[in-house]
Amino acid sequence: MQFSLDASQTMPKRCLVLGGRGFIGSHLIDALLNHGYHVRCFDRPHVPSLSGSPLSHVNFESYEGDFISETEVASALEGCDICFHLVSTTLPKSSNADPVFDIESNVLGTIRLLNHAVQLGLKKVVFVSSGGTVYGVPSQIPIPETHSTDPLSSYGITKLSIEKYLHLFHSLHGLDYTVLRLANPFGEGQRVHASQGAVAVFLSKVMRGEPVEIWGDGSVVRDYIYIADVVDALLSALEHATNEHVFNIGSGRGHSLNEVLDSIETLTGRSADRRYLPGRPFDVPKNVLSIERAQQLLGWSPRVPFDDGLRKFADWLQNQHDE
């Protein structure tokens, strides 16, 4: 979908992006500013922006604070019409080690956020959930939004809990919301030394000639979606009001880890030094999302095929290396 919107003719006008200096958030901020919105970024101090710098833009303002600080989040919310909630303090692989921290920082932090949102008259929350973890082991592929939810990680349970509290606050207070259950995003600006993001980590290691560690035998299948398509979906959540509030956002296709490496080898002309490790218990064998609901009700569809997105990402990484 090619998104076009005259922000001067629609509400909301002022957007708060929680986690705005992260991979998705920085791309989203750039897009919102390009579409005429006033944008407020909220993130922790000293976290560098990963995309183009909007600091000089007349419609941009930056707030620094901690998501678990109720007063700092309330201050950031004041005067805003919509909130994009992109913050997570944990990762799928680390969340099971400390579920208490996961709950206290993410679930309680979000409930405090929603309380202030109601008090301050916020119009809508757009929450990025996890299409890769909330369903657990799927009984059908592709996975529809109506599929049972049995997460294998505290991370997935937390995401699902936040979805339920959004529904509760909508029922009790009329707070509008949209949940985007996101597949595995990749693209320019993604951290290549992080502990998640297989495409980014694999691509960077192959380009640098370093060994690639693979959990399991490489047969795990995931749905990978290019960052520009993710941003289009987030923007679509602004202009479409439907009776449905939960949407899968993915490519609609699956690639195994071995297939991802095959594509990287083809693109770069380099062989991957593959090192296979024991599988992890929270990695479901296959996860591919059904995106029909988003196509029908949000007017959104992914536009960038996996290999095209991979090529754009590789070009960006090469340019970073050359600079």
Residues involved in catalysis: 155
Amino acid residing at 256: S
User: If you count them, how many residues does the chain have?
Assistant: 323
Do residues 31 and 235 lie in contact, with contact meaning Cβ atoms separated by under 8 Å?
Answer: yes
Q: How far is CA 61 from the centre of its chain?
A: 22
User: Token digits for 117?
Assistant: 């949102």
